Amino acid sequence: MAVADAVQTGLWTPLHRPQVAYIAPTYGQAKRAAWEYAKEMCAGFGGVRFHESELRIDMPRVLQNGQKDFVRLMLLGADNPDTLRGIYLDHVVLDEYADMNPRLFPEVVRPALSDRKGSAVWIGTPRGQNLFYDKFEEAKTEVRAGNEDWHWCIHKASETGVVDEYELADAAKQMSKPQFSQEYECSFDAALEDAYYGSQMEEAELEGRIGRVPFDPNSKVETFFDLGFADATSVWFAQRVGGAVHLISYYENSGEGLPHYVSLLEEYARSKENGGRGYTYSRHIFPHDVKVHEIGTGKSRLEVLEELGVVPDIAPNLKRADGIEQVRNLLPRCWFDEEKCDQGIRALKQYRKQWDETRKIYKNRPRHDWTSHAADALRYGAIVTPRSARWADPIEYPKRAFV
């Protein structure tokens, strides 16, 4: 469909010498996925020229004024975005967009469309909430706002009729439920096979534990920190209500020092939420490496925090695998505010195992990427909060502490 749409768009573009492109994550994928389709669709045009070595098709046409012209269809790979600079495009298809470099569209493709006022189509199979998911959500937002330049659609196998019912039933037997939901039913929320907390977060979604979770002014707030040294620092704000853990907010930032995060805590303490009261803290949980001394100042982050008026609770230095198991035990009791914890929720869904390219198996450790910060922060909170525990008694801070 996308290749046919690209060909048709090129043929009907009124501008001189239109160029349309189909881009896959790699050049090899573009050839395997679309080249035979493109040749078949263009074979009937008189004078068409196929350039196999370049994956390029030139289709002659005659404009209304009688001028001879041609349309160029190019199949490209997104392996190195910078090699695509300098071209102009009237239309582009980005297939399996989730696997592409995030720089490709905003830095290379979007400028290539500008002077021609070209169009773009993003297609792919959902694999969690990633780059493709972000573009999908952007499209939905634009459509809701009444922007007629945007459109989105989902084609589920159970609804299109392209795959018959017997084949769908047989596929469902051969695949796990998350695999089937992702590959056939286009589910962005299907738990990834290599995701540590995929099934727990899917259960939270199904059970309605991800939604509106208001701040309870009668309960104290705990924070779970992950301190980034060269990258992001993240913090969860949590309340325990009975046996449930309410994650009422999540914050992440990078390039800021500890005073920034202490100011954030103060701001939340002063803000007037439900009931007209700000947060009252019971404790702040930090990772064990808060005690490490920094070369520049000679002070540890623990010392800096105490000077700023925050007395941390330090999470024990447990093995990562044990901490992950603690999170798995905690998640069935967690409720998440969908709006205020959006980034943290998405990170927990996407927190995945590392793949061993040599042995072709998953390693027993997670990938370090954008999901790590939120996952690590919650892990420290789970380590300090055992499965059967309720809130600890409020900590009596020294008078110099603001919390």
Per-residue pLDDT reduced to its tens digit, 133-190: 889 999 999 999 999 999 999 999 999 999 999 999 999 999 888 788 888 998 887 6
In a domain? residue 402: no
Structural domain tally of the chain?
Answer: 2
Would you say residue 321 has pLDDT above 60?
A: yes
pLDDT level of residue 385 (50, 70, 90 thresholds)? low
* Residues 259 and 134 reside in one and the same domain: no
In a domain? residue 198: no
- Determine the pLDDT at residue 378: 97
Q: Tens digits of per-residue pLDDT, 181-226?
A: 888 998 887 656 678 898 899 899 889 999 999 999 989 999 999 9
- Determine the pLDDT at residue 400: 37
* Residues 219 and 365 reside in one and the same domain: yes
* Residues 117 and 248 reside in one and the same domain: no
In a domain? residue 166: no
CATH code of the domain in which 350 resides: 3.30.420.280
* Residues 108 and 236 reside in one and the same domain: no
pLDDT level of residue 360 (50, 70, 90 thresholds)? low
In a domain? residue 187: no
CA dist., res. 111 & res. 88, Å (int) = 8
* Residues 245 and 357 reside in one and the same domain: yes
Q: Tens digits of per-residue pLDDT, 257-305?
A: 899 999 999 999 988 776 677 999 999 999 998 988 775 667 888 999 9
Domain boundary among 144, 169, 200: 144
**Between β-strands 68-77 and 19-24, what pairing exists: parallel, antiparallel or unpaired?**
parallel
Q: Tens digits of per-residue pLDDT, 15-38?
A: 999 999 999 989 999 999 999 999
Would you say residue 358 has pLDDT above 50?
A: yes
pLDDT level of residue 390 (50, 70, 90 thresholds)? very low
In a domain? residue 189: no
Domain boundary among 94, 112, 144: 144
Domain boundary among 122, 144, 166: 144
Instruction: Give the list of residues 6+ apart from residue 284 with CB closer than 8 angstroms, or none.
Output: 222, 223, 225, 265, 310, 311, 312, 313, 403
CATH code of the domain in which 105 resides: 3.40.50.300
Residue pair 124/98 in contact (Cβ under 8 Å)? The answer is yes
Q: Which residue has the higher pLDDT, 2 or 293?
A: 2
Nearest C-alpha neighbor of 138 from the set 127, 122, 124? 122
Range of the domain at 340: 210-384
Q: Which residue has the higher pLDDT, 191 or 81?
A: 81
Distance in Å from the first CA to the final CA of the chain = 59
User: In DSSP terms, which residues pair with 119 in a beta bridge?
Assistant: 91
- Determine the pLDDT at residue 80: 83
Please state the separation of Cα 64 from the chain's center in Å: 46
* Residues 134 and 226 reside in one and the same domain: no
In a domain? residue 224: yes
In a domain? residue 188: no
* Residues 228 and 335 reside in one and the same domain: yes
* Residues 350 and 240 reside in one and the same domain: yes
Q: In sequence order, what DSSP letters do the residues of 353-367 get, joined into one string?
A: EEEETTTTEEEEEE-
Q: Tens digits of per-residue pLDDT, 32-58?
A: 999 999 999 999 888 999 999 999 999
Average of per-residue pLDDT across 1-20: 94
Q: Which tokens go with 144?
A: 């809701």
User: In DSSP terms, which residues pair with 241 in a beta bridge?
Assistant: 244
- Determine the pLDDT at residue 396: 38
* Residues 241 and 327 reside in one and the same domain: yes
* Residues 231 and 125 reside in one and the same domain: no
Sheet holding 68-77, edge to edge: 49-51, 56-62, 68-77, 19-24, 91-95, 119-123
To the nearest whole number, what is the mean pLDDT of the chain? 87
Place of tokens 């999470």: 315
In a domain? residue 94: yes
Average of per-residue pLDDT across 98-124: 92
Q: Tens digits of per-residue pLDDT, 124-133?
A: 988 777 789 8
* Residues 215 and 122 reside in one and the same domain: no
